[in-house]
Amino acid sequence: MRDRASHLLRQASDCVVEVGDRALKKWGAVAAETKADSTLVTDVDRDVEAFLHERLRDACPGAGFVGEEAGRRLPASSNVTWVCDPIDGTTNFVAGLPHWCVSLALLEGNEAVLGVVYAPVLGLLYQSLAGEGATRNGAPIRVADSSTLQHEDLLCLSTNALKTLRTSGLLCRLRCLGSIALEMCLVADGRAIGAVGIGEGIVDIAASACICAGAGAPTRYLDGAPLDLGVLLSDWRTARHFVTASDVAMAQFGTLLVNTAR
């Protein structure tokens, strides 16, 4: 199974890079539509998802496929599922801002077997195979594990997290880059001390959660409960605040971040 998973990671990574580079040609030069949930979608989102669905169909026969645009395709006979966000950060993509990525994970039951996140503008390819660490552009990465938060530490928060958390007790710098998948990978890479979100979909965070776990940064809810990807596959979006960080940093966030929506 390990050899099979390694082969699938290579196939998935090749597909993600190919289609990400294709999307890059339309970055900042594409029309957008507004979906029912008020978020944006473009033909690039649809084309990337369709490409990955088609190319990965034969790579793992019988596997389900869950995408941001087309939703769930879950055969009853399989517990293996590809999870794809074709463009995480579509608003940035449309506006010509660099923080967007293609995100792809493979779940087996409740666990992520592999994760790939590719940010074409930044030239960053993050990969992880469960149990075998995580890499950026082929080099091993590891979460920063500071015992105390420092003034120049970077904490990434999604838009909804910024709107619903009181952050005045934090010493560190705050950043909202517009792609939770990429923000989580920056935690895995040791560039940010943590990433916080709420209302994010399974497609947004499945691959990054795998990459972060491989780098020593678990993803949990703010109250310390584990984030179960299998449950999220059914629920679709996180209903509570979650944090990706080292165990040491996460303990501090649990007391310093206050939910103002209660």
Domain edges within the chain: 2-140, 154-256
- Looking at residue 72, what is its pLDDT? 82
**What is the tens place of the pLDDT at every residue in 203-260?**
999 999 999 999 999 999 998 899 999 999 999 999 999 999 998 888 888 778 877 7
Who has greater pLDDT, 77 or 162? Answer: 162
Give the residue among 106, 101, 100, 120 at the shortest CA–CA distance from 56. 106
Fold classified for 154-256: D-Maltodextrin-Binding Protein; domain 2 (3.40.190)
Q: Judge whether residue 74 has pLDDT over 70.
A: yes
Assess whether pLDDT exceeds 70 at residue 261.
no
Q: What is the mean pLDDT of the chain?
A: 93
Percent of the chain with pLDDT strictly greater than 90: 79
* Percentage of residues in the chain having pLDDT higher than 70: 98
Please write the tens of the pLDDT for every residue from 31-50: 999 999 899 999 999 999 99
User: Residues 100-110: what's their mean pLDDT?
Assistant: 96
Domain covering 2-140: architecture: 2-Layer Sandwich (3.30)
Instruction: Tell me the backbone φ, ψ of residue 114, rounded to 5 degrees.
Output: -155, 160
**Residue 2's pLDDT is what?**
66
| pLDDT above 90 (res 61) | no
Average pLDDT over residues 6-20: 96
Whole-structure pTM value: 0.95
**162-213 pLDDT per residue, tens:** 999 988 888 899 999 999 999 999 999 999 999 999 999 999 999 999 999 9
